Chains A and B, each alone.
Chain A
């Protein structure tokens, strides 16, 4: 990888989270030996089954939670507590219901630039409200908005503080499929315009392929780890209507689904084997294409063309 030669923007080293057991014995290790790097402008998704600690990792990156061991460095400085440098988009949108759309975004802008006057704050907030297509709804309260519009406000709020990095915890998990598709494309556009570095949690394989440049796959907890990293070779800009026609699309998709369905469980047994890989295996679709062809020939099944949208729901 050429990118790894440059200094990584975000570096996660040996992260682990151990919950103390109530009985006082050995605690429960949710995940350990989590290492990864994210480069500037990169969009990285992480997926895995519930309970593998994805959200905890995101919260540690956000500074809202602390790791039991390990360190997170961003831009050469260790992450210690929340910061305006990292914007967070919450699954539950987390808008303040007593404030209007404009006030919700302005609240963030005012936090970022406390010395700005009212007009400047308002103009800046309005720019991002327009960016997510909510012009005209800025004086509405969140309760008057649909789920998709609420999440758009959440996106506008996160982008308005112009963070160095964006963290998204299943941002579209609560939306219906149609709305999700529309907002995903808008997000792609905004990310491309702003060259935003993003770390996203998702349970949606198609969402991961559409949005991210690399997809990290986590094995099941306890003792979850990043088992594999898949390089998404589908070229940017990716469009929902076109990506499935690319020859790499189904190999990647099948690889991801296979991992979630079967390999994520097996990884735990392999972990302590003497020849277990110390760092996650990196998969390139070129390899995938070959392996997919060979496994297909062995197992005798065909690529599920036209298979319905698979969405592993967070249990």
Chain B
């Protein structure tokens, strides 16, 4: 073949090849195995452990089984057969609503507060110790307090998302606002730009890339945390689904849920990727 492949074509081919390798390894690892009773092991014990027959299917899902599950689940994502049997679409929707709710509440608090903190050295230094102490706390540690005060499982998980989304957005907004280039502020001072116009026309666009980077980090963390939070509070959501399927010993469904968590996480991140590009500027 004389034609040269472009960079994109090469990476796509490599990606597909990697996918093939993964499937192959997976297939080989889950092949039915011939069980030979190891010397020195009680045959009755071996039979109990599933080694009685000549061959035994692996309990880990094979690629084919996984494909079947994917097809079944994705072809009917919104069915609802009671509390313990809902389609993956419904479970993901529950999780997304909580994540987006907590995230937007956090943005509403963090971005204006970050503006105030970033504008004043005094407030920045006064608030900094609190932020530094609160930031490293695992958001799940707030769960008991949230459950005690809010007394509602779903609202508590929204609160946990709120708490974990707050800090990156707050810190990045304050940092972005505090580091707006002196020149731009001087320009708006010499043009006698009023404070509100300065905030929206100068400081906000100047700090937007930093603020958006904070929002992107927050969204990433929120999506990580929702799974754990829903495992704790139960009821609905993708986290609850994973735990429920583990209790059902359905590894295929667990694996399917893991895949879905990854795909949705990637989609959320790429939304922020697009937004970041929109507000980016080149000096």
Which residues of A pack against B, CB within 8 Å? 62-64, 82-84, 86-88, 90, 92, 94, 96-99, 107-108, 111-112, 141-143, 161
The 8 residue pairs across chains A and B that have the minimum distance between CB atoms: A94-B183, A111-B191, A143-B282, A98-B281, A97-B281, A82-B189, A82-B190, A98-B205
Find out whether the CB atom of B190 lies under 8 angstroms from the CB atom of A107: no
Q: At the interface, yes or no: B72 with Cβ under 8 Å from chain A?
A: no
Q: At the interface, yes or no: B192 with Cβ under 8 Å from chain A?
A: yes
> What are 26 sample pairs from A and B whose C-beta atoms fall under 8 A apart?
A63-B189, A64-B186, A64-B190, A82-B189, A82-B191, A82-B192, A83-B190, A84-B191, A84-B192, A88-B186, A88-B190, A90-B183, A94-B181, A96-B184, A96-B187, A96-B205, A98-B205, A98-B279, A99-B205, A111-B191, A111-B197, A112-B191, A141-B281, A142-B283, A143-B282, A161-B191
A97 contacts which chain B residues (CB < 8 A)?
281-283
Segment 178-198 of B: residues with Cβ below 8 Å from A: 181, 183-184, 186-193, 197
B192 contacts which chain A residues (CB < 8 A)?
82-84, 111
B163 contacts which chain A residues (CB < 8 A)?
none
Find out whether the CB atom of A111 lies under 8 angstroms from the CB atom of B193: yes
Minimum CB distance partner of B283 in chain A: A97
Cβ of A118 to closest chain B Cβ, rounded Å: 15
- Provide the B201-219 mask, 1 if CB < 8 A to any CB of A, else 0: 1100110100000000000
- Provide the B262-283 mask, 1 if CB < 8 A to any CB of A, else 0: 0000000000000000010111
**Once the chains are docked, how many angstroms separate the CA of A41 from the CA of B155?**
69
B208 contacts which chain A residues (CB < 8 A)?
98
**Once the chains are docked, how many angstroms separate the CA of A147 from the CA of B197?**
28
**Once the chains are docked, how many angstroms separate the CA of A20 from the CA of B242?**
64
Which of A63, A84, A90, A96 makes the CB contact (< 8 A) with B206?
Answer: A96
Find out whether the CB atom of A64 lies under 8 angstroms from the CB atom of B189: yes
A90 contacts which chain B residues (CB < 8 A)?
183, 186-187
B186 contacts which chain A residues (CB < 8 A)?
62, 64, 88, 90, 94
**Once the chains are docked, how many angstroms separate the CA of A112 from the CA of B281?**
26
Cβ of A87 to closest chain B Cβ, rounded Å: 7
**Once the chains are docked, how many angstroms separate the CA of A92 from the CA of B283?**
11
| Chain B residues touching A, majority SS | helix
A88 contacts which chain B residues (CB < 8 A)?
186-187, 190
Cβ of A166 to closest chain B Cβ, rounded Å: 11
Find out whether the CB atom of B190 lies under 8 angstroms from the CB atom of A87: yes
A63 contacts which chain B residues (CB < 8 A)?
189-190
**Once the chains are docked, how many angstroms separate the CA of A62 from the CA of B281?**
28
A161 contacts which chain B residues (CB < 8 A)?
191
Cβ of B118 to closest chain A Cβ, rounded Å: 18
**Once the chains are docked, how many angstroms separate the CA of A143 from the CA of B282?**
6
**Once the chains are docked, how many angstroms separate the CA of A141 from the CA of B281?**
9
Find out whether the CB atom of A96 lies under 8 angstroms from the CB atom of B202: yes
B187 contacts which chain A residues (CB < 8 A)?
88, 90, 94, 96
Q: A82-B189, A98-B281, A143-B282 given; name 17 further pairs at CB < 8 Å.
A: A62-B186, A62-B190, A64-B186, A64-B189, A64-B190, A82-B190, A82-B191, A82-B192, A83-B190, A84-B190, A84-B192, A96-B184, A96-B187, A96-B202, A98-B206, A108-B191, A111-B191
**Once the chains are docked, how many angstroms separate the CA of A42 from the CA of B217?**
55
Minimum CB distance partner of B201 in chain A: A107
A98 contacts which chain B residues (CB < 8 A)?
205-206, 208, 279, 281
**Once the chains are docked, how many angstroms separate the CA of A107 from the CA of B190?**
12
Which of A86, A96, A99 makes the CB contact (< 8 A) with B190?
Answer: A86
Cβ of A57 to closest chain B Cβ, rounded Å: 15
**Once the chains are docked, how many angstroms separate the CA of A214 from the CA of B239?**
76
Minimum CB distance partner of B279 in chain A: A98
A96 contacts which chain B residues (CB < 8 A)?
184, 187, 202, 205-206
Find out whether the CB atom of B183 lies under 8 angstroms from the CB atom of A92: yes
Given the known interface contacts A92-B183, A94-B184, the answer about A141 and B191 at a Cβ–Cβ threshold of 8 Å is no
Cβ of A16 to closest chain B Cβ, rounded Å: 22
B281 contacts which chain A residues (CB < 8 A)?
97-98, 141, 143
Cβ of A144 to closest chain B Cβ, rounded Å: 9
Q: Which residue, A92, A96, A97, A107, has most C-beta atoms of chain B within 10 A? A: A96
A92 contacts which chain B residues (CB < 8 A)?
183
Cβ of A158 to closest chain B Cβ, rounded Å: 9
**Once the chains are docked, how many angstroms separate the CA of A90 from the CA of B187?**
9
Cβ of B180 to closest chain A Cβ, rounded Å: 10
Minimum CB distance partner of A83 in chain B: B192
Minimum CB distance partner of A143 in chain B: B282
Find out whether the CB atom of B190 lies under 8 angstroms from the CB atom of A143: no
B191 contacts which chain A residues (CB < 8 A)?
82, 84, 107-108, 111-112, 161
Q: Which residue, A84, A99, A111, has most C-beta atoms of chain B within 10 A? A: A111
A64 contacts which chain B residues (CB < 8 A)?
186, 189-190
A141 contacts which chain B residues (CB < 8 A)?
281-282
Q: Which residue, B187, B190, B281, has most C-beta atoms of chain A within 10 A? A: B190
**Once the chains are docked, how many angstroms separate the CA of A112 from the CA of B191?**
7
